[in-house]
Amino acid sequence: MNAGIRRVGVVGGGRMGAGIAEVCARTGLDTIVCEADATAALAARDRVAASLGRAVEKGKLDRASAEDALGRLVFTGSLDALADRHLVIEAVVENPDVKTEVFAALDKIVEDPGAILATNTSSLPVMRLGMATRRAHRVVGLHFFNPVPVLPLVEVISSLHTAPETVAAVEGFAATLGKTVVRSQDRAGFVVNALLVPYLLSAVRMAESGFATAADVDAGMELGCAHPMGPLKLADLIGLDTVAAIAESLYDEFKEPLYAPPPLLQRMVQAGLLGRKTGRGFHTYGEG
């Protein structure tokens, strides 16, 4: 285990934050999950417990290990609980103002000046978040992929201020979680989303124009290109609001038309049709 990072905090207990907290707890780390309030914290606990239960059912984890992992987790509605953490990973909504506010608050709350503040942002500038603190050299991007307990990749993104020892520490931390690291410069989309999101947006435009149905677009890429999941199913899994936010961030930075979110995607977000998490996106799902 990375000797320097033993106590971890995760801000945000949604799909991504819960997944990050789960892999930390399964690795034996003392982990606190902070949500907006006690009700949301309880929902985050249920989310992690359900994921651990599925791992047990699939034979990927024994029941005792699952119970131990859940026992290492504390769920709270107060950021003050993160004061003694060695590493805090922010995993809140993909909104620059919200994330900046979280980083400014964490900078005041986390007591150890050597503690690392990391963001799980999909596309926003790490520099902006670092500059909201007095420790920009200890701020880094640590981008996990959904579902976190399954996908082995983590992107590590350093800003112009991030210290080399900060990068080394989070790479060591990611290795203890069993993750493979790729490094990226602090540019919108980093490596994966800069390649992936234009592909997803092209699929949205194809469905929007009536060129092909969502089902046929997905079948074409699954059966014709051996992709494990078609682009519109993948967009639904990521969350159409998140896809739109990443697209907007890419377009703001590069001003390339292929990065602009299509009107259909924007309307679906406005309508609350966000994919799997709401039960309906480009496809319909049994659970909201």
Q: Is the per-residue pLDDT at 262 higher than 90?
A: yes
Q: Is the per-residue pLDDT at 40 higher than 60?
A: yes
Looking at residue 158, what is its pLDDT? Answer: 97
pLDDT, one tens digit per residue, over 56-96 is: 999 999 999 999 999 999 999 999 999 999 999 999 998 99
Q: What is the mean pLDDT of residues 263-281?
A: 97
Looking at residue 288, what is its pLDDT? Answer: 42
Q: Is the per-residue pLDDT at 287 higher than 70?
A: no
Q: Which of 233, 250, 238, 240 is nearest to 285 (CA)?
A: 233
Q: What is the mean pLDDT of residues 249-270?
A: 96
Looking at residue 146, what is its pLDDT? Answer: 87
Looking at residue 78, what is its pLDDT? Answer: 96
Looking at residue 1, what is its pLDDT? Answer: 44
Q: What is the mean pLDDT of residues 130-155?
A: 96
pLDDT, one tens digit per residue, over 203-232 is: 999 999 999 999 999 999 999 999 999 999
Residues with a known catalytic role:
122, 143, 155, 193
Q: Any long-range contacts for 131-137 (C-beta under 8 Å, 24+ apart)?
A: 131/161, 132/100, 132/101, 132/103, 132/104, 132/107, 133/103, 133/104, 133/106, 133/107, 134/107, 135/107, 136/161, 136/162, 137/161, 137/162, 137/163, 137/166
Residue 286: pLDDT band (50, 70, 90) is: confident
Q: φ, ψ for residue 119 (rounded to 5)?
A: -115, 140
What is the CA angle 206-207-208, rounded to 5?
Answer: 90
Q: Which of 155, 164, 242 is nearest to 191 (CA)?
A: 155
Q: What is the mean pLDDT of residues 172-200?
A: 96
What's the CA gap between 196 and 230, in Å, rounded? Answer: 12
Looking at residue 123, what is its pLDDT? Answer: 86
pTM: 0.90
What's the CA gap between 26 and 10, in Å, rounded? Answer: 14
Contact between 233 and 218 (Cβ < 8 Å): yes
Mean pLDDT (the chain) is 95
pLDDT, one tens digit per residue, over 91-131 is: 999 899 999 999 999 999 999 999 999 999 988 999 999 99
